[in-house]
Amino acid sequence: MIGGSFDTGSSYHQIGSRREVCNWIGHIKLSRIIVLVSVILFIVPLFTHYYLSKVESDSPNLDIHHTRSKLEAFEDFTSMKAADLKSRIEEMLRIKVSVSNELRDLEAKRQRLQVEVTSFTQRIDELKQELLHQQMDLDRLKISVVQAQVAQREAVERNTPELAPPRRILVNSVPAILPSPNSSSCKMYNCFDHSRCALTSGFPVYLYDPDLYSIVSPGWDVDGFLKTTIKQTLGYNSHLTTNSAEACVYVVLVGEALSMEVSKRFKFRKPIDVKKLHSLPYWGGDGRNHILLNLARRDLSIESGSILDGIDTGRAMIVQSTFHRTQFREGFDLIVPPILGPPGGDIWQDCTQMLPARRRYLLSFQGEMKPSKTATTTHQVDDAEVDLERLAVDDNNLDSFIIQHLKDLSISTTLDKFFIQFECIPASEDTKVFEALDWSLCGTDSSRKAILKDSTFALILAPSNTSFVTTSPMQARLYEALRAGAIPVVLGGDQIYLSYDEVIAWRRAAIFLPRARVTEMHFLLRAVPDNDLLSMRRQGRLIWERYLGTAQGAIDTIVANIRDRLGIPPLPAPRAPSPSVFNESFVPLKSDTIIAEPEAEESLGPLEPPYSSPAFRRNYTTMLIHGHEIWNDWVDPFNLYPQLPFDTILPSDAKFLGSEVGFRPIAKGAGGAGKEFSESLGGNHPREQFTIVMLTYEREQVLINSLARLYGLPYLNKVLVVWNSPKPPMEDLRWPDIGVPIHVVKAPRNSLNNRFLPFDAIETEAVLSVDDDAHLRHDEIMFGFRVWREHRDRVVGFPGRFHAWDQNYHNAWNYNSNYSCELSMVLTGAAFIHKHYTYLYTHWLPQAIRDKVDEYMNCEDIAMNFLISHITRKPPVKVTSRWTFRCPGCPVSLSEDDTHFQERHKCINFFSQVFGYMPLLNTQYRADSILFKTRIPHDKQKCFKFI
């Protein structure tokens, strides 16, 4: 029962509340209390006796007084009556409950103190972290101060003198007539007035309205198509001016006769009225700085060469397709192709696919000799005409040999197939002697095009009469061959000139052979490997699309070629405006929210004020140093760009010997590990920053979070947010203060192509294109920026993808995002590109590609990869091991839909069709930082701790 009573007490303790204990006591019956008291009265004496006996035996020296006090306590306890005992028990229970409450309060206080201790400990850790951040910021500010001092010292040492553009020498009156040199000896130095074409003039071009200033004789007329086309295409050219007083050159449209019947009817009347020509308002007596533009699509007379033969053109330049050798003034006159294409627009549909490399026919030719009456039929024959006749006879013998050899080649037993056709229509019976021999086109345009599409090479025969340096039919054959992707083989190429040959590297697109080597032609053509075949075919397509394919391209090329002669830079390429999405009176709300990065303890670079990349520094040297590449590789000689990804770099020692302005070598050139590395950009280029371009559409909170994470990012110039939504941002939206400007651009319409508009607000060469839901760490961004500075002409970024060949899907391409040891694309949702490519994407990329991007609302990143790989013939550069992105809390994106991938499959195949081949190239490596896996001493620091 005693044990039961203690268990009961334990139960009281477990119940832990006064009310429950009282309720339990109330249920105890009085009988149980009496029994309990009886047991106590019986047990206690026995227990007391046993205890006293044990005390006396074990401790004889025990204090008797202390023992009695215990006995008295037992006596007092045992002498209590039941009612007193009950009261005593209740008192003890109350004491127990009170003690329990106190213990509970003490426990609560202990827990509160523990929470406070934990809170203070956490606060201490936060303060330590904050101290570390502040120390890092202080260190970066110290570095920034050092960088600012260096910039100030450079500005002082540079001591750039004040320069002003040279004064233009313009006159309001007609220039005085100068002694005219022999027209056959005209060169730019003695027949062109350079004083009207200052370097800073912009090369203004004035067009005589052909409806007001016609120079053709009565009964003749200019082709209406040419008249309308020239006026329209020159109107689109940025160099055209309506102010004749400021013009550098004056263009006179000559044109052609409407039909050969007209030329026969007026055969005794010259087509050009010399009086009208010389009476042009700005002719100046000798035609200086005038351009006679004869874009005839057919020759009026093969004997004369052009309607300008025998005309006193003074010092005017002649621009046409047919020239006699004695008429053509090399370096002054200009050979151009006839206008055969449409006025403008996308012409990729007219081009043939570049693959396969070898086609059905190794070589094709369609044409016949075109006879013309000999000069001996004239009333007077001088010595020159006799020599010309003898030459014609000798050439006729060589032509006969060439024809026979080609015929034999076409029926030979070789496995190579040839398509050679010399007889198109029956030859004329009454023409026995030929003065000038030329080759006319055979068949219709569609039939010739079909044959050329099946031909690896297209034979082009130089004029049989070597007194011609070029003819319109030959230029037309060249045009058709390049359009069809057949590599031109010019037999007699050592005696002729091709269009724009002073700027176009024709040997990269065509093969030139002397006519005497016709027997070696088959051997030479078979020796060309496939890679060179495709390289020449690609170059030929580039020339055709850019300079020959449209009337707009031909006119722009004529203007650019003459301007290039004078060393005058083109006008700046058009930029896209950057209107703010906010009204002028609206001030966006600011937020103090900063999302700390986990790698914040790593120093990544100094904090600097925005610094724009120097622009237009090479206005007058780009065409001198890189003219060949600009005309033949870099897509566009018609515009001046602020910077190019191909700009030349200085040697390493130039940073320390006389050209150190702007450079930030690591440890002033001594080099170093992580600490020194983080203090300077180093590399081979001067200091610079980058601009982030972020496209967004109705994901405001995702955007704000992404912007907040950019706080404290070194080398960041500004952030451009392209607001693609038609609805403006909410007025109560709070924009984070990240230390650099955030410019929110109102997009003209909802288009993914807006990501690559050349916004005038972008003031740096480096552009980091980022999706609004992409989460990049600061060290990843900085590493990507540093890698891009060494590969400025490529896409440098993070998520890699590749194009995969699917033999089961009609031998087509598939877009693939699986993990792979090869990649060919780096998505521009997180990648660095050069701003130059935004100009090319907007103004040069075929419109059909941008239309496809708008149709699918997809694939703009693939299009940019196609563009850059097509221009550079290099694959992208992937950095770090990151393959894709995850955005916790973001809405489901379109990329998670299967339709997204199906559209990207279609995009890849369509884009390759537009380009004529697959420009993407594979790569099997990625870029990681130096010292990433290198064991280094404890006192050294890696370049990036986590990369």
Closest among 340, 332, 39, 372 to 187, alpha carbons compared: 332
Cα 739 to Cα 734: distance, rounded to the nearest angstrom: 15
Contact between 697 and 750 under an 8 Å Cβ cutoff? The reply is yes
501 is catalytic: no
| Sign of torsion over alpha carbons 514, 517, 518, 524 | negative
Closest among 368, 380, 251, 374 to 317, alpha carbons compared: 251
- Residue 828: CA count within 13 A, CB half-sphere: 29
Neighbours of 747 (CB within 10 A): 21
Q: What is the strand order of the sheet 249-253 is part of? A: 205-207, 249-253, 290-293, 317-320, 334-335
- Residue 896 DSSP symbol: G
472-484 and 530-543 helices, crossing angle to 10°:
120
Cα 360 to Cα 298: distance, rounded to the nearest angstrom: 31
Contact between 923 and 824 under an 8 Å Cβ cutoff? The reply is yes
- Residue 385: CA count within 13 A, CB half-sphere: 12
Closest among 880, 424, 940 to 674, alpha carbons compared: 940
Closest among 809, 832, 889, 874 to 688, alpha carbons compared: 832
Kind of pairing between the strands at 468-470 and 334-335: unpaired
The amino acid present at 395, given as its one-letter code, is D
User: Three-state DSSP class for 478?
Assistant: helix
How much helix, strand and coil, in percent to the nearest 5, is found in the chain? 40, 15, 45
Contact between 870 and 920 under an 8 Å Cβ cutoff? The reply is no
User: Three-state DSSP class for 463?
Assistant: coil
The amino acid present at 323, given as its one-letter code, is F
Closest among 876, 861, 859 to 920, alpha carbons compared: 876
2-15 and 18-26 helices, crossing angle to 10°:
140
Q: Where are the beta strands (DSSP E) in 576-678?
A: 589-591
Contact between 688 and 662 under an 8 Å Cβ cutoff? The reply is no
- Residue 791 DSSP symbol: -
- Residue 208 DSSP symbol: -
Cα 396 to Cα 390: distance, rounded to the nearest angstrom: 10
Cα 593 to Cα 583: distance, rounded to the nearest angstrom: 24
Cα 261 to Cα 265: distance, rounded to the nearest angstrom: 6
Please pick, among 286, 773, 779, 861, the residue that the annotation labels catalytic: 861
Neighbours of 943 (CB within 10 A): 20
Neighbours of 143 (CB within 10 A): 19
CA angle 137, 140, 142 (to 5 degrees): 110
Query: For residue 132, how far is the Cα from the chain centroid?
Result: 39
C-alpha distances (whole Å) from 570 to each of 288, 501, 544, 577 are: 22, 20, 21, 21
Q: Which two tokens stand for residue 869?
A: 């790989």
- Residue 547 DSSP symbol: I
Closest among 476, 410, 486, 472 to 445, alpha carbons compared: 476
Query: For residue 736, how far is the Cα from the chain centroid?
Result: 29
Which residues belong to the active site?
Answer: 861
